[in-house]
Amino acid sequence: MDSLTLDQVLEAFDKRCEEREAKKSAQEKSDQDAKARLDALKKEIKDEVKAELGTTSKPKADDEDPNANAGKTPAAFGAAVHFGKKLSKEEQMIVDGLMTKNIPGNGLEMKFKLDVQDGEDRLRYYFRHQAKEGKKVAIDGSSSYGADIVPEVYGTDLYVRATAMHGDLAKLFPKVGMTSDVEHIMELLGKITVSAYSSYANQNTAIENVTPTSETTGSATLTARTFVAKENVYDRTAADTKVNLVRALKTNMATEFASSLSKAILNGDTTATHMDEDLEAAGANIPEAMWKGLRKLTMAGSLGTDGTDAAYTIANLLSVRAKMGKYALGPNKQLCKWIFGVESYNKLVGLLLAQTAAPQMANYTLEGGDVDTFLGHEVLVSQHQREDLEIDGYADSTGTDGNQGFISLVNPNGFVLGVREEISVRLVPDPLNARTQIQGTLLMDFQPLETPSASISVCSGLYGFTV
C-alpha cells in the first residue's frame, strides 16, 4: 500500500468524522420521530379514554345526559369506578371526611336532604349507548349468568341491595316546618249558621234577627321525635371504594329512614303499653313507639271493619270506605290511599281477576296483574303493614291465629307531618379502630289534625281477616 500524504490522511479523517456526525444526526432524528410518534400515540389513547369516559368536552348526543359519565376512572388504574352524576358539595364533604385524618375531635357535621331516588340505571345507560354506537357487549365467560355480560369496568362499582317495599308513606302527608321542638298547628273549626227568611214581612228585620256564630280554632301539637341511624365505615373499605361507597351509604341511609317513618306511620303507638306485645317488648327506642299510627287511630276511633276471621271480600273493602263517609267521596276521593300488606295485595289481584261482571271490572284499574286503583283510590303496598296479627287487630299472645292482616284507607289531608330538621349527618373519627362512624339523625312528628272518630273519619281499616 502506497504511503499517504498528511493531507490525504487529514482529508480521510474529516470525511470519517462527517459520516459519523451524519449517522448520529440521522439516529437522533429517528429517535425524535419515534418519540413524537409515541407521544402522539399516548395522546390518542388518552383522548380515547377520556372520550369513552365522558371527561372531554366532546359533542353530546341529543338524548345523552351531559353529566352521566362525569367522574369516571378506569378500573385498570386502581381507583374505584363511578358512573353517574358529579358529586354534590355535600357528597364531596363526606368523601373528604372519610379520606382525611383532619376531622375535628367532635366530628364533621353537615345537613342536607338524602334522596331515595338518587342514582340511575347505569348498566341500562351503558348498554343503550353501546348499541347506539354500533358496539356489541362483550361476553367474558361461557355461562349464561348475567354477570358474564357486565363489562369489567363495572367490577368495582357498588349497588344497594333492592329489598325494601316500605311504601315511602311520609310522602303522602302534608308537611310543615317546625321552628322549635314543640309546635302548635292551628285549624279553623268554626261553622257559620245561615238563616233564611221566606216571609216578605221579615225581610227588613232579617239581618238584625240573625244570631251570629263565633269562629273557633283547634290545635294539634307537634313534638319533634329523633330518628337515629349509625354506620361504621372502616378505613380499608373507604380506601377501596371511595365515591361509590358514598353513593351507596346515602341511598341506604335515606331508604332506611323512609322505611322507619313508614313503620311509625302504620304501627305507631305511644300508650303506656303498646298495642302490639312484641313491639312493647322491643322497648321505647323503636320507630313504632314515636307516635300513634294509622292502625292505632283507626281502632281507637272505632273505624275498623271486622273481617270475621275469613278471607276478605270486595264487600269488606266497600265497608271500609263506607266508614269514612264524606272523607272518601267527592273531592276527597282522589286524595284517599289504600295501604295493603304484601299478601293482602296479592289476594286483591286474585280477587279482582276472578270478577267477571263488566260493570264491576270497570271500577278497577288492573293491567299487567297490577292494581293501581281500587274504587277510585290509589293502591299502595308496604311490607310494614302487619299481617301477623290476631283477630282483634293486634299482635298479642292471647290468641292462636297470628295470621291476620290489616288494610288501611286514609285521607292524608287529615294528618300533618312536622319536620323539625332534615337529615343531619355527622362523621365521627375513631382512629384507634381505623374507622369513621357516620351518624344520621332526622327530627319529625306525625299527628292527626283532629282525633279520628265517627264524625272525623279521615282513616279506616279492615282487620281480623286471614292472609
Give me the mean pLDDT over the 142-151 stretch. 40
DSSP state of 389: B
Residue pair 408/458 in contact (Cβ under 8 Å)? The answer is no
Confidence of residue 48 (pLDDT cuts 50, 70, 90): low
Burial 195-216 (b: 16+ CB within 10 A, else e): eeeeeeeeeeeeeeeeeeeeee
Q: What is the mean pLDDT of the chain?
A: 76
Residues 340, 346, 348, 353, Cα dihedral to 10°: 160
SS3 313: coil
Residue 117 has, within 13 A of its CA and on its CB side, a CA count of 2
Q: Which of 40-44, 128-132, 427-431, 450-454 has the lowest average pLDDT?
A: 128-132
| C-alpha cell, 39 | 407521544
For residues 226 and 422, which has the higher predicted lDDT (pLDDT)?
Answer: 226
pLDDT single digits (tens) 248-261: 777 788 888 888 99
Domain locations along the chain: 225-466
Mean pLDDT in residue range 277-288: 91
How large is the average pLDDT for residues 161-165? 64
Mean pLDDT for 354-364 is 59
Take residue 437 and report the three cell numbers written for it.
Answer: 362512624
The 10s digit of each residue's pLDDT in 65-102 is 434 443 333 333 233 333 344 666 666 666 666 665 55
Does the pTM surpass 0.85? The reply is no
Q: Which residues contact 100 (CB under 8 A, 6 or more apart)?
A: none
Residue 200 pLDDT greater than 80, yes or no: no
Closest CA to 299 of 423, 422, 389, 430: 389
User: Looking at residue 368, what is its pLDDT?
Assistant: 66
| φ, ψ of residue 69 in degrees (nearest 5) | -110, 15
**Which residues pair with residue 229 across a beta bridge?**
440
What is the rounded average pLDDT of the residues 380-393?
94
Angle at 453 between CA 451 and CA 459, to 5 degrees: 85
pLDDT of residue 448: 94
Q: How confident is the model at residue 310 (pLDDT cuts 50, 70, 90)?
A: very high
